[in-house]
């Protein structure tokens, strides 16, 4: 059975310089125009960015054991910056996060980055969401580590989509730029070698705990995004 196609979801376009981060067709996303979406390519990941929320719709990586071994000796830079490729009205700033009580939470993790340049790029605010601090540093960091451990055991490339989910109405915002605060976060793992996929779904709260993984089809139903069109992954 093929995964359900999200109602009124539109095919993403672009990413011409970094299609290698996607396992096949580009995803389909509902309300793509309303989200003011823009595609951003980086050395080791890609971001579909929303100018409406001023956060990623998703970040995507193609991870291998070799890349993660290269990443182990890269020094974390911690130099966050607004991405100048985005119009000023569509991007978050350092001031938006200052004093907000939220961390600048990576979607494509810094610890996955195999070179100094890729590490520096991962601190783009276009790769960040406002994240509850204890969540970011403990629960979410644990999920990122578990994902890396899986990739190191996998026989081939593993594709990882990470992103935020917002309430249908009344999202909290921070800063003068009104950056949206996610209600939940997800991380979808697709092992192309075994054609298996699963996702983690976590509340964006300090006391949130990682539960059992959900299925790919559950994630599509919850987000409306068809991440793997044309692919029918097992669980």
User: Could you list the active site residues?
Assistant: 106
Q: What angle do CA 47, 189, 174 make, to 5 degrees?
A: 45
Q: Which residues of 24-46 are buried (b: 16+ CB within 10 A; e: fewer)?
A: eebbbbeebeebbbbbbbbebbb
Handedness of CA 100, 201, 191, 137 (dihedral sign): positive
Q: Show Cβ contacts of residue 218 under 8 Å, excluding neighbours closer than 6 positions.
A: 199, 201
And the tokens for 197? 């996929």
């Amino acid at each position: 059975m093929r995964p359900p196609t999200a109602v009124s979801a539109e095919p993403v376009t672009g990413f011409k310089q970094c299609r290698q981060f996607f396992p096949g067709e580009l995803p389909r996303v509902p309300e793509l125009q309303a989200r003011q979406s823009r595609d951003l390519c980086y050395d080791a990941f890609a971001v579909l960015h929303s100018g409406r929320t001023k956060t990623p719709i998703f970040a995507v990586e193609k991870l291998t054991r070799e890349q993660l071994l290269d990443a182990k000796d890269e020094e974390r830079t911690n130099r966050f910056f607004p991405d100048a490729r985005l119009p000023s009205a569509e991007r978050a700033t350092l001031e938006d996060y200052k004093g907000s009580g939220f961390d600048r939470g990576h979607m494509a993790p810094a610890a996955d980055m195999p070179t100094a340049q890729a590490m520096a790029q991962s601190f783009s605010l276009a790769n960040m969401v406002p994240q509850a601090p204890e969540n970011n540093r403990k629960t979410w960091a644990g999920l990122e580590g578990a994902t890396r451990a899986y990739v190191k055991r996998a026989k081939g490339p593993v594709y990882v989509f990470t992103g935020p989910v917002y309430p249908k109405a009344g999202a909290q915002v921070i800063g003068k730029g009104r950056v949206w605060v996610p209600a939940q976060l997800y991380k979808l793992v697709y092992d192309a070698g075994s054609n298996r996929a699963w996702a983690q779904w976590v509340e964006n709260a300090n006391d949130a705990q990682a539960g059992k993984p959900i299925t790919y089809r559950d994630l599509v139903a919850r987000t409306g995004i068809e991440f793997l069109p044309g692919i029918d992954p097992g669980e």
